[in-house]
Amino acid sequence: MPWWGYVIATLAMTHVTIAAVTIYLHRHSAHRALDLHPIVSHFFRFWLWLTTGMVTKEWTAIHRKHHARVETAEDPHSPVALGIKKVLLEGAELYRAESKNMETMAKYGTGTPDDWIERNLYTRFSWQGVGLMMIINLILFGPIGLTIWAIQMLWIPINAAGIINGIGHYWGYRNYSCEDASTNIVPWGILIGGEELHNNHHAYGTSAKFSAKWYEFDIGWLYIRILATLGLATVRKVAPKLKLESGKQAPDFDTLQAVITHRYAVLTSYARTLKATYRTEILTLRERSKGTLDGDSLKRLKVWINADATKLPEAARAKLEVALASSKPLHTLCAMRQELSTIWERSNDTREQLLHRLQDWCRRAEASGIPTLARFSQNLRQFA
């Protein structure tokens, strides 16, 4: 073939590998967001055995633990806990180390394939598959097949273990104020099968669709829809869509359920709606602080206000307290945000108690004298 023929062949094969990871391992096995026809499921298992040597149970268990222990010392690959350099450059090594943790496998690896071929081939001889792939590449492409094989072997360690697990928790934009550091790297999920939309995924972990905004594209979801049309996949769950009911005078049980379901979107909307108020108050605070708060602290103040204060470093929390003591509006906005988040955190309260708390929150927000806070509350009342 001409040189570009080998490039196309390499990109095609690595893209199938990415599709297998995002559709089979991630959305199907780890999160049960969709069911796959046995033919499709086994093709992906076979292809991953050839091109990665990864075992379904190991990948599934490690990813589930990542969600359960995200951004803590127990997270298998958090750049917040381990540093971006380590996760970006040593992501595959972190995966292999965690795969040897039998406690992780037992606790998080349930419901994965345990048939004869899994036990006697894919798990028992996990790395023999990639050796077979090397032989196949040599037969198909000649000596250049070794180069193609090397690229195949590096594709998942670089793109998934490195970029998604590393950059996807370090740099990018956020649609949802999740309790972790997840980000969307770019709005077009093509090269890594939609995994680029990592913040969306952490907001709605069991959704088969990763795109959330009109300008975002998830090619993995496109493939799932094609499989579903052919009767080869069944979508079990996607992220719920927010509905608004105008004219509500007070929050009701539907409002409460919507607020809890869309809690990350609620916090994001809170920050965006009150952005102008934050900016005005911080400018005023800059003039009044007289050196009490340095320039860097004033720049980071909006981030601190919209974060969980209990999780801030001690130095940042101390500076935040100084700022809030100097500005009544900022103190109100910060306190009201923390109170709002407790509505979905108080699991021991009854629905009636939670609804009363939400109604009281809206009354106080609209009587706060802060126009942007009142507008946010009026919009929140319309959730249905």
**Span 201-234, pLDDT tens digits:** 999 999 999 999 999 999 999 999 999 999 999 9
48 shares its domain with 165: yes
The arithmetic mean of pLDDT across residues 335-342, rounded, is 91
Q: Is residue 245 part of a domain?
A: no
167 shares its domain with 86: yes
53 shares its domain with 168: yes
Q: Is residue 354 part of a domain?
A: yes
- Running DSSP on this structure, what letter comes out for residue 255? H
46 shares its domain with 139: yes
153 shares its domain with 272: no
pLDDT reading at 316 higher than 90? no
Pair 331, 368: CB distance under 8 Å? no
pLDDT of residue 275: 87
Give dist(CA 59, CA 109) in Å, integer: 8
361 shares its domain with 281: yes
The mean-pLDDT minimum among 258-262, 346-350, 379-383 falls in 346-350
265 shares its domain with 127: no
Q: Is residue 243 part of a domain?
A: no
Q: How confident is the model at residue 109 (pLDDT cuts 50, 70, 90)?
A: very high
Q: Is residue 267 part of a domain?
A: yes
pLDDT reading at 313 higher than 90? no
The arithmetic mean of pLDDT across residues 193-206, rounded, is 96
Token pair 């991953």 is found at 48
Q: Is residue 169 part of a domain?
A: yes
208 shares its domain with 318: no
pLDDT of residue 292: 64
User: Which residue, 205, 235, 265, sits at the end of a domain?
Assistant: 235
For the chain, what is the domain count? Answer: 2
266 shares its domain with 369: yes
15 shares its domain with 78: yes
pLDDT, tens digit (0-9, with 9 covering 90-100), for 137-192: 999 999 999 999 999 999 999 998 899 999 999 999 999 988 899 999 999 999 99
Structural domain of residue 206, as residue ranges? 3-235
Pair 208, 33: CB distance under 8 Å? yes
Q: Is residue 226 part of a domain?
A: yes
What average pLDDT does the structure give for the chain? 92
pLDDT, tens digit (0-9, with 9 covering 90-100), for 247-301: 888 899 999 999 999 999 999 999 888 888 888 888 887 777 666 667 677 777 7
Q: How confident is the model at residue 239 (pLDDT cuts 50, 70, 90)?
A: very high
User: Which residue, 204, 235, 266, sits at the end of a domain?
Assistant: 235
H helix runs in the chain, sequence order: 3-19, 38-51, 56-68, 79-82, 84-99, 102-108, 116-117, 128-141, 144-156, 165-166, 198-203, 219-229, 253-261, 263-273, 275-289, 295-305, 314-326, 328-342, 351-366, 371-380
Q: Is residue 52 part of a domain?
A: yes
User: Which residue, 235, 265, 300, sits at the end of a domain?
Assistant: 235
Q: Is residue 240 part of a domain?
A: no
pLDDT of residue 230: 98
Pair 42, 29: CB distance under 8 Å? no
As given in the structure block, the two tokens for residue 296 are 């860097």
Cβ count near 103 (within 10 Å): 9
Buried b or exposed e, range 299-335, using 16+ CB within 10 angstroms: ebbbebbbbebeeeeeebeebbeebbebbebbbbbbe
168 shares its domain with 196: yes
pLDDT reading at 6 higher than 90? yes
Q: How confident is the model at residue 122 (pLDDT cuts 50, 70, 90)?
A: very high
Please tell me the pTM assigned to this model.
0.88
101 shares its domain with 187: yes
